[in-house]
Amino acid sequence: MTTHNIMLLPGDGIGPEIMAQVRRVMAWVEGAYGVIFNVDEGLIGGCAYDAEGVPLSDETLAKAKASDAIVMGCVGGPKWDGKTDYDKRPEAGLLRLRKDLDLFANLRPAMCFDALADASSLKRDLVAGLDILFVRELAGGVYFGEPRGIEELPGGGRIGINTQRYTDAEIIRISRVAFDMARKRGGRVHSAEKANVMEAGLLWREEVTKLHAEEYSDVKLEHILADNCAMQLVKAPKQFDVILTDNLFGDILSDAAAMLTGSLGMLPSASLGDGGPGLYEPVHGSAPDIAGQGIANPIAAILSFAMALRYSLNMGDAADKVEAAVSEALAQGLRTGDLMSEGMTEVNTEGMGDGILKALG
Ligand code: IPM
Ligand code: MG
């Protein structure tokens, strides 16, 4: 029997609740496909800080590195919001994981399930059939650029500093991912930056243009300013196929796109490097306002696990089945609170898990 080593990192807030439903789906896949998931569980984020003094311990990081896939929940919460030391914040655990494993390619598919087209904040005809893939650079840019910090100014007052920086090599490797993905999809890439005000954006545009001309001229490339991209996403989102963008713009634009699909609770993500395990996590945060109530939407986490099946475990068929089961549960009218609308059946986290498992059969 094939054994896959999975590092499970539930994290903070609703993380453990949604991860419990992922576990159930994992058990189904084991039974249906005759594989074994050898699951190791670790701490990340605020809970890791409380228990181990750091948001991601060396030991957990080493275990994650040695696994076949890392399946994560979410990090952060008001308990740790006051922490001004960025190395100790819950988010630092996640950033360390991304950076240390050099997970530079963050894939964020924003798809609108037909059953949810009415749950979007936009009109049904604008979002029905929506299928965008964000390719977000994840290991560079302003998230990691030096210098950074808060410093005292000589004449009094303080200054906060962060640095946006991208090398040509970093731009080229993420652009390759976007072009390769586009070839398997709609064949179109929009590259979003702010070349009109930032040198890092200008270099981005130049390198994308060059790579495209040299190796990917079969793909249709358009450059778009990131602010215009935000506007176009809410005006006519279906014009996009693949959106290639940097770490910060990708963070912002993918949240906006998430709402088009009905709820932030729907969006999965995969973070991939050059070989080694991928990291799979929902796009949403730890939702402290509803944590512990058992009402969070587990779909983004379950779809993230489906991406793990596809991209790290070579089980594309199982991934298709899980995605179809999510679609089926939604078609049956099951809705967690975040998706609820008239005439639908409101269920809690476990109820949504029940519906998905039932659809899996
Ligand atoms: C995301 C999150 C993270 C980010 C936070 C939790 C550090 O917002 O994955 O989109 O900013 O990248
Ligand atoms: Mg974000």
Q: Which of these, 118, 133, 139, 7, lies nearest to 60 by C-alpha position?
A: 7
Q: Which residues contact 144 (CB under 8 A, 6 or more apart)?
A: 95, 99, 247
Ligand 1 pocket check for 25: Cβ under 6 Å: no
Would you state the pLDDT for residue 58?
Answer: 98
Which numbered atom of ligand 1 lies nearest the CA of 250?
10
Backbone angles phi, psi at 111, to 5 degrees: -115, 140
Would you state the pLDDT for residue 83?
Answer: 81
Ligand 1 pocket check for 91: Cβ under 6 Å: yes
Backbone angles phi, psi at 256, to 5 degrees: -65, -45
- How many angstroms is it from 342 CA to the middle of ligand 1? 32
By annotation, the residues acting in catalysis are 143, 194, 227, 251, 255
Would you state the pLDDT for residue 54?
Answer: 96
When the candidates are 3.40.718.10, 3.40.50.720, 2.40.30.10, 3.10.290.10, the CATH number that belongs to 1-108+263-361 is 3.40.718.10
Local confidence pLDDT in tens for the 361 residues of the chain: 899 999 999 999 999 999 999 999 999 999 999 999 999 999 999 999 999 999 999 999 999 999 999 999 999 999 999 887 888 999 999 999 999 999 999 999 999 998 999 888 899 999 999 999 999 999 999 999 999 999 999 999 999 999 999 999 999 999 999 999 999 999 999 999 999 999 999 999 999 999 999 999 999 999 999 999 999 999 999 999 999 999 999 999 999 998 889 888 999 999 999 999 999 999 999 999 999 999 999 999 999 999 999 999 999 999 999 999 999 999 999 999 999 989 999 999 999 999 999 999 9
Would you state the pLDDT for residue 204?
Answer: 98
Residues in the chain: 361
Strands 35-41 and 2-11: parallel
Radius of gyration (C-alpha) of the chain in whole angstroms: 20
- How many angstroms is it from 157 CA to the middle of ligand 2? 30
Would you state the pLDDT for residue 82?
Answer: 87
Best residue among 91, 99, 135, 252 to mutate for probing ligand 1's pocket (most ligand atoms within 8 Å of CB) is: 91
The greatest distance separating any two alpha carbons of the chain, rounded to the nearest whole angstrom, comes to 69
- How many angstroms is it from 185 CA to the middle of ligand 1? 26
Single-letter amino acid, residue 208: V
Cβ(90)–Cβ(76) under 8 Å?
yes
Ligand approaching nearest to the C-alpha of 281: 1
Quote the pTM value. 0.95
- Per DSSP, the residues of 291-357 read TTSS-S--HHHHHHHHHHHHHTSS-HHHHHHHHHHHHHHHHTTEE-GGG--TTSEE--HHHHHHHHH
Single-letter amino acid, residue 182: A
Q: Which of these, 24, 21, 71, 29, lies nearest to 336 by C-alpha position?
A: 21
Ligand 1 pocket check for 102: Cβ under 6 Å: no
Q: In the chain, which segments carry CATH 3.40.718.10?
A: 1-108+263-361, 121-261
Would you state the pLDDT for residue 128?
Answer: 94
Q: Which of these, 35, 211, 218, 241, lies nearest to 130 by C-alpha position?
A: 241
Would you state the pLDDT for residue 85?
Answer: 87
Which SS3 state, helix, strand or coil, does residue 138 take? coil
When the candidates are 3.40.718.10, 3.40.50.2300, 3.40.50.720, 3.40.50.300, the CATH number that belongs to 121-261 is 3.40.718.10
- How many angstroms is it from 248 CA to the middle of ligand 1? 9
Best residue among 81, 89, 108, 251 to mutate for probing ligand 1's pocket (most ligand atoms within 8 Å of CB) is: 251
Cis peptide before 16 (omega within 30 of 0): no
Beta partners for residue 335, in sequence order? 346
